[in-house]
């Protein structure tokens, strides 16, 4: 009984580490010191000038799936090009160092990470998107991710 329990615990730990690799040697994706209110105002100006929507990417440097998404976008030119053609991306930190609660309270509750909010170029809220439905195994599903980017890009 104890051996079985120990094996289950070890298996769960290994599964967690596989999905969330250690953060050593990974550059930070999110800035806990950033001011999302100020950053959003700058992003609105940029989005309006470019005729793009805004994609708020909520996550933290502790988030394994945030790194998986970032790498997936870097590795897939067609996904990255569609994202860049349609959105100005603003990464908003959510971590113990800075939860950005005051900023995030203006949107629906974030229930998983990474998490997307789509805003019009003027900052008007349009859509909330959990990224889980866009996943495939330990990565992302290209057709689903591109479908999301097409659906919520500027019309």
pLDDT one digit per residue (tens) for the chain, 155 residues:
655 544 444 344 334 444 555 456 899 999 999 999 999 999 999 999 999 999 999 999 999 999 999 999 999 999 999 999 999 999 999 999 999 999 999 999 999 999 999 999 999 999 999 999 999 999 999 999 999 999 999 98
Structural domain spans, the chain: 24-152
**Res 10: pLDDT:** 39
SS3 123: coil
Residues with Cβ within 8 Å of residue 39, at least 6 apart in sequence: 90, 92
Evaluate whether 62 touches 114 at the Cβ level (below 8 Å): no
Yes or no: domain 24-152 corresponds to CATH 3.40.30.10? yes
Element (H, E) at 87: strand 87-93
């Amino acid at each position: 009984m104890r051996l079985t329990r120990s094996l289950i615990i070890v298996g769960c730990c290994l599964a967690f580490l596989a999905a969330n690799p250690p953060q050593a040697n990974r550059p930070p994706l999110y800035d806990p010191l950033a001011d999302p209110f100020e950053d959003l105002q700058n992003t609105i100006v940029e989005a309006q000038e470019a005729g793009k929507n805004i994609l708020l990417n909520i996550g933290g440097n502790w988030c394994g799936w945030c790194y998986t998404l970032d790498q997936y976008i870097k590795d897939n030119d067609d996904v990255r090009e569609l994202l860049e053609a349609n959105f100005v991306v603003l990464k908003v930190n959510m971590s113990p160092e800075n939860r950005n609660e005051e900023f995030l309270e203006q949107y629906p509750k974030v229930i998983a990470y990474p998490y997307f909010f789509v805003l019009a170029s003027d900052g008007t809220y349009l859509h909330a998107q959990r990224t889980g439905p866009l996943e495939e195994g330990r990565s992302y599903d290209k057709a689903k991710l591109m479908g999301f980017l097409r659906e919520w890009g500027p019309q």
